[in-house]
Structure 1
Amino acid sequence: MGRPTRIGLGLLGLLVVALAVGWFLHTHERVDESEDLPPRGEAAYNPLYALRKSLTAAGLPAQSRQRLQLARVPLGPRDTLLLYSDPRALQPSEIEALLRWVHGGGHLLVRTPLPRRSAEAAPARDLLARLGVRTVEGPTRCEPLLVTGQEGHVEFCRGRRFLLVDAEPELSWGDGGEDGLVFARLGYGAGTVDVLADFDFLRNGDLREPPHALLTRQLLGPNWGEGTVHLVYAATVPPLWLQILTRGWMAWGPLLLALLAWLWMRTQRLGPMLPAPPVARRALLEHVTASGAHLVRYGRASLLYDAVRAAFVERLRRRDPLAAALKGEPGIDAIARRTGVAPRDVRQALQAPAPDDAKAFRQRIARLIQMRKNL
């Protein structure tokens, strides 16, 4: 292949690559997409995590915790406390301590309990009752929230409205009639108490909306920048058994299958009883025994004796040919020396028994077998 040919093939390859790149860029468009990942860590169970981060970014000292813990974390005179959980869970001693703190200049934000699903009785001396707040029973409805430059919002759709008894609010939001209010700011000594129907706009996913952020800023206005903001929430972590059931199935599923398989293997089978297995039998030995008994029963025991005597003589010829060749008394003496049996017993064993003498038959057979083994 000449040099011009190689150059032509190289230019052709470059042209093909350029055409492929041009086609790809013409038919495809680069698009950026953002996908929200599920929260992890503290953000997965702390609904006020984003609020705490926002306050810290704004230069305000803020901390969040699951329980009130007044003895461990004392409140400052100009601090702000937001109770995200149900205020009915407060102990009487905690209620008294909170009211004394608010009276000294603190700012408390509290919500009304969720609508009751049953006819449960509210505590007679809870925090809201001490503040002159009475919740309204019945179906809830939303309250519009209008912010300049933003789309219309509705809030407190699932909260419980309330009425004020012998209390005059500094600020209020909602119908002051039988339907009740969704927000009221009450003066208590040198401090302030804000009562709201719900805190749903403070949650992590909802706080990013501008109307919710502006509403949160107005709520935190009384002590803004003067103290620490304490965010107390009730952790909604599911119980351990539920997390194991829903998230640990890849571990307990195979173990459960293995356990069931083991139980199935070890469980007694159900059904009719099986017959006992037959005992192992030695058919050849039984056959020989039966044949011998048959010959003895019909007077043919001599055949058995002759067979045993012939087996002895055959082995004697192989082991001691000289003793087998001798006849008479010399042969008996040679067999006695070879087998270690007395000559008298050898002589008796080599003589055929009487046909009707069963005892002599058994003795001679036993002696022949012994002498055969001793060879």
Structure 2
Amino acid sequence: MNRTTRFALGALLVLGLGLLGSYLLSRAESYEEVVNHGPSPEARANPYLAAEYYLRKRGIEVTRADNLAGLATLPSRGQTLLLLANRSNLTPQQNERLLKWTAKGGHLLFIAERMWDEEEGKSGDRLLDTLNVQQYPVETLDEDEADDAADAQTAEPSGEESTDEAPDAYPELTKLYLENEQAPAYIGFDTDFHLYDANNLAHVWANSGEATHLLQIYHGDGLISIVTDAWIWQNDKLGNVDNAWLLWYLTQDSAVTLVYNADRDNLLTLLQRHFTPALLALGVLLVLVLWHVGQRQGPLLQPQPASRRQLQEHLRGAADFLLRHGGQQRLLSNLQQDILRRARRRHPGFERLGVADQWQILGRLSRQPSAAISQAMRPLSKKRLSASDFTRQVAHLQTLRNAL
């Protein structure tokens, strides 16, 4: 096969592949597929993340707070505090600070957490009890009282009586009527709960077919908004009906602080708030004590050079070591064994004799009285000897050993 034939075959192969690719492209159809990976980790960790983004998109400054520690420095005027956390652990002092902050011109929005207890005359929710707002389950409301409350509170703010007696088209939705608006705003509150303003101070309210779910009350120079639930502003419900619009309506023309954790102040926070000078004084005192304890008392002792050590020092050190680790009995037993070894060298068969015969042999070899032999070679007691008795016993044994 020559070069021309190979070139022709290659050209035909390339042309065939080009035609095949063109045919496949003409038959292919493009399509788009959206893969839903679910909410992001940040959205799963923060149920009100969509509410934050929505308010920022509407030009509202939003700040997230983990607790109420920053309430002391938070200005009241031009601020809306959305207290979305559980408030069961708040102290009476913290509730009082919240109301004082609101009275200076702030807007406080919180969730009614407890049901009214008729027997005790309170709900246990300190904010609700202070404002004399009562929350009831709808199922426990008397039918006549529910009808009276609905008739009294569903009137338009202008005070004009409504002549439209058409049936409620959306009884499960909460309706908020505004002046100069033909239709109400619809909000998806949980209709199982009802708010009752016992002092009749509320100037704005929102009702469903049987209950009230939003109240607004003036408090000093500020405003308090009470809702039966805040689930309408969570990520999966914010886009339903007018839930997002209500959040904007309640927070418009103000900066917003979202509080997700309202636990009571810990001991360290309380100490810093009320005893700052005492803590500073304690810290300075602790530093001074550590500095005083860390000081060296006197000059360092330099180790003695090895050339100055004497034999007596080595012997004393070895004896101290044996005394600490072996005890008195070990030292005395070593002396007695040394005496018996010397006696065996001088008297063959000494080890086979009885104790009395051994003591006689020791007396004859050392020319020591039998009392001295008995005093030195008697069995050792397990009881620790005094320093004088130990020294005396060592002296008897050394005298006997040196005489052999």
TM-score normalised by L of structure 1: 0.50
Bigger Rg over Cα: 1
